[in-house]
Amino acid sequence: MISDQTRTNADGQTAAATATHPELMPISQPGAMTEMDHFVFECFGYLIIPDVLSEEECDEALEAAKRVHGSRPAEKFLQIGKGFEHEPVLERLIDHPAVLPKVRALLGDRFVLQAAWCTVLPANAGAVGWHQDGSGAYDFKQLGYPVPLLQLRASYSLTDQSEENMGNMIMIPGSHRSPVPLPKEVRKEAYASPIQHIVRAKRGSVLLFHNGVWHSPMPSHLDYDRYNMHYIYSPPWLRRSDRDATDPEFLQQTTPRLRALMGDYDRPDVPFAGGFPPIPFDDV
């Protein structure tokens, strides 16, 4: 008999509706992309990877994020790019082994870090603004239906977002395949749609999502600032948006893999005209 808390599949494995494996939660695990991860990502447009960073690693990354934003208290929602150029802790997250295999599984072996944004949401602030990622200048939707995967975003929660109103990300599962937009009149509402999902993420979790998924930050009732660190991976011909070119000093001191992921090629036609240099992944 199927209880209201558990389902048993044909192999006798149990998927329990518990805090660790709740139903309707696109939960994954750090590391390799499983077939189930792939299926869930295609259905929902996102995955949640818990326990990517330890408490200590979160503390270090949070300190780095605060340095990126400077010592002043945040006045409004703000994003600052390319913090990795001078913060080694943020640099290390670019090819984190808990996340990179999933990026490869979705984008293949030829992609770049299109941007890295450190966002702050001030204490007791509301910054609701539902949107899809992409370009206001030339909407990705103009390229075809369903909107292609051009910006795959890995968002690290550096402060706890495991209850509502902690500046959580709110997502509309499957909305990357909706041919109609979220109605304009609800785009400033925290509760915009009956099918929205408030992501309750412990600090150190990563939310990996498709540019087409409608999403928004939730207001924060916290008495401290909320920080997220976003890494955006794209096909190599997409213009970088947090930098015109990567700092030459950073390029000199970083690893060969990160140099390759920066996408600063000798010639601008490299990603168009063939001869794309292989990215030195561990297994190539």
Ligand X SMILES: O=C(O)CCC(=O)C(=O)O
Q: Report the interface residues with ligand X, using CB under 6 A.
A: 79, 119, 121, 133, 215, 217, 228
Shorter beta-carbon distance to ligand X: residue 225 or 264: 225
Shorter beta-carbon distance to ligand X: residue 217 or 271: 217
Shorter beta-carbon distance to ligand X: residue 21 or 239: 239
Edge to edge, what strands does the sheet with 206-210 contain?
A: 46-49, 206-210, 152-157, 226-234, 112-121, 78-81
Q: Say if CB 197 and CB 153 are below 8 A apart.
A: no
Shorter beta-carbon distance to ligand X: residue 215 or 259: 215
> What's the maximum distance between 2 C-alpha atoms anywhere in the chain?
63
Q: Count the helix, strand and coil residues of the chain and give each as a percent rounded to the nearest 5.
A: 25, 20, 55
**Nearest distance, CB of residue 181 and ligand X, angstroms:** 16
Cross-strand bridge partners of residue 161: 201
Q: Say if CB 213 and CB 152 are below 8 A apart.
A: no
**Nearest distance, CB of residue 59 and ligand X, angstroms:** 19
Q: How far apart are CA 101 and CA 112, in angstroms?
A: 14
Residue 230: Cβ within 10 Å count: 20
**Nearest distance, CB of residue 282 and ligand X, angstroms:** 30
Shorter beta-carbon distance to ligand X: residue 217 or 235: 217
How does DSSP classify residue 27? B
Where are the strands (E) in 179-270, listed by range?
197-198, 206-210, 215-217, 226-234
Shorter beta-carbon distance to ligand X: residue 89 or 279: 89
**Nearest distance, CB of residue 75 and ligand X, angstroms:** 15
**Nearest distance, CB of residue 74 and ligand X, angstroms:** 12
**Nearest distance, CB of residue 252 and ligand X, angstroms:** 30
Q: Say if CB 221 and CB 137 are below 8 A apart.
A: no
